[in-house]
Homo-oligomer: A and B are copies of this chain.
């Protein structure tokens, strides 16, 4: 398609031909608009239809060294139980006003469960996952299936699955939760139900039943031959993730394809019934960079969150480099450029709203030159 000359302009370079001189008539018109619940496009086109995404949310880093002690304090001061449901502390993007949203689509929290505590069962339309960067001893019970939570594991509770948690140890445990709460609330899609105050199963098996049925590479049980909207796998174990990344880097060492770019191994967690994302609104991935490497700088439509799992490095967001240590969480808003840079071997968990963008054909990526 012809790219017209004007296509290069932005709003600031264009004089608004629709700005009439002030007059009593015009003031009356605008007042009538107000009365009738109307707002003209021509006075706010720049805001409504900017040249490219202009997110209100901002890039922001939450340090694990801040988060974890605050979670501990809340463990002391606030009981967990029915009504509040979870001792989860949401990361509130500073650009989104007084909302507990890490981005316009995503909610992210640190959740904390003390020794012997139980978070009661409930279910909701929102899709949820948990990712564990340290600790162990909690089981989450998903539709009656007890799922061990351990370091490096990704745990799913897709929309409408009943779930509760309990800590069987004498030590506390914390992890992060990711949900599509903002998207659900903005678009008015939320449903919620209370389940039993007690969990439906207090057993603590090493492997959940869903893993035993589904976690065999390239195999699908004949009893589960119908595709499901979300993944039937409730626990993606660190052992497998680590092994997959290790193999990609070894293949690169041997001169074979495997890494996504030089020095950069990465996997996407998938729904084995479709090969697609684990849940309809949330993408989850894990990335590993070799020491001294960087990812190609890119902009993407949609918001994304990283949590450092191992090692140290930095992220260059919109040209500004910021240090990242274990447990640190960083959000990158839509169309803001970013690149990860590894000091040591650098492991990061990532989640994003990419499935929303792709399913609605709103996705777009711009790759820039690498900066390191």
Interface string of A80-97 (1 = CB under 8 A from B): 111111111111111000
- Tell me which of B6, B15, B188 contacts A333 (CB under 8 A): B188
Q: Which of B192, B229, B272 contacts A272 (CB 8 A)?
A: B272
A188 touches B53 (CB 8 A): yes
**A175-187: contact bitstring with B at CB < 8 Å (1 yes, 0 no)?**
0000001011111
- Report how far A55 CA is from B66 CA in the complex, Å: 35
Q: A17–B82 contact, CB under 8 A?
A: yes
Number of copies: 4
**Alpha-carbon separation in the docked complex, A78 to B23 (Å):** 11
The CA-CA distance from A187 to B57 in the complex, in Å, is 10
Docked pose: A186 CA to B188 CA in angstroms: 13
* Given the contacts A19-B84, A189-B301, A301-B189, A90 and B41 also touching, CB distance less than 8 Å: yes
Tell whether A49 pairs with B195 under 8 Å between CB atoms, given A187-B356, A223-B259, A269-B219. no
Q: Which of A230-284 contact B (CB under 8 A)?
A: 231, 233, 236, 240-241, 243-244, 247-248, 250-251, 256-260, 266-275, 278, 280-281
Instruction: Check if A327 is an interface residue, CB within 8 A of chain B.
Output: no
Which residues of chain B are within 8 angstroms of A40 by Cβ–Cβ distance?
Answer: 74, 78, 88-90
Cβ-based interface call for A50 (8 A): yes
A314 at the interface (CB under 8 A from B): no
Contact with B along A346-372 (1 / 0, CB 8 A): 000000010111011110100000000
